[in-house]
Amino acid sequence: MIHESTPTEKILQRVLTVSAVDGWSVTVLAVLGSLGSFLLGDLVGVGVGAFVLVAGLTELHGRRRVLRGDAGGMRVMVRAQLLLLSVILVYCVSRLGSFDAETAMGNLTPELEAVLAESGVARADVLPLVRIMFYTTYSVVIVVSIVFQGGLAWYYRKRTGTVAEVLAATPPPVA
């Protein structure tokens, strides 16, 4: 006879699926981002990538603990999301405090400057737009991260009790 999953077992399966997808996504992106930063000589980017990698590996570690029948893995997954959120917030806030008009304008290519001149847009008119885009981009990343990482931490926290109940009712896996 085939065993039908109970609603609580389905919650456990969803938690395990979400943590696998998120943990591996964060881990792969961290490795790729760190590698790209390293190749560009951006040591700050490598450092940020390393912290993001730790968060991804921590989530996967928590998932493995849950798979072994240890409900404490849920707390580890919550902490992983809070670590990732902290890294993103610190990075974004530091970037928001570092806008440099000279560097931003120095990145305009001669081709882009020619297009702007043909369009009747003065170089000085571009700076306010660049500044707005800079602050908007990092502000949006902050809000999205609070919603996503904060929401995922809340998701794991809210399901900790249910996962603990399912694991307590299930015999531990054979090692």
pLDDT of residue 1: 46
Lowest mean pLDDT among 77-81, 85-89, 120-124, 171-175: 171-175
Percent of the chain residues topping a pLDDT of 70: 95
Which helix H or strand E contains 55, and what residues bound it?
helix 43-67
For residue 171, the SS3 value is coil
Confidence of residue 92 (pLDDT cuts 50, 70, 90): very high
Sorting pLDDT into bands at 50, 70 and 90, what band is 3?
A: low
Number of neighbouring beta carbons within 10 Å of residue 128: 10
Please say whether the beta carbons of 59 and 22 come within 8 A: yes
Tell me if 76 sits within 8 A of 61, measured CB to CB: yes
The whole-model pTM stands at 0.85
Query: Residue 102: its pLDDT value, please?
Result: 83
Span 30-51, pLDDT tens digits? 999 999 999 999 999 999 999 9
Domains of the chain: which residue ranges? 8-168
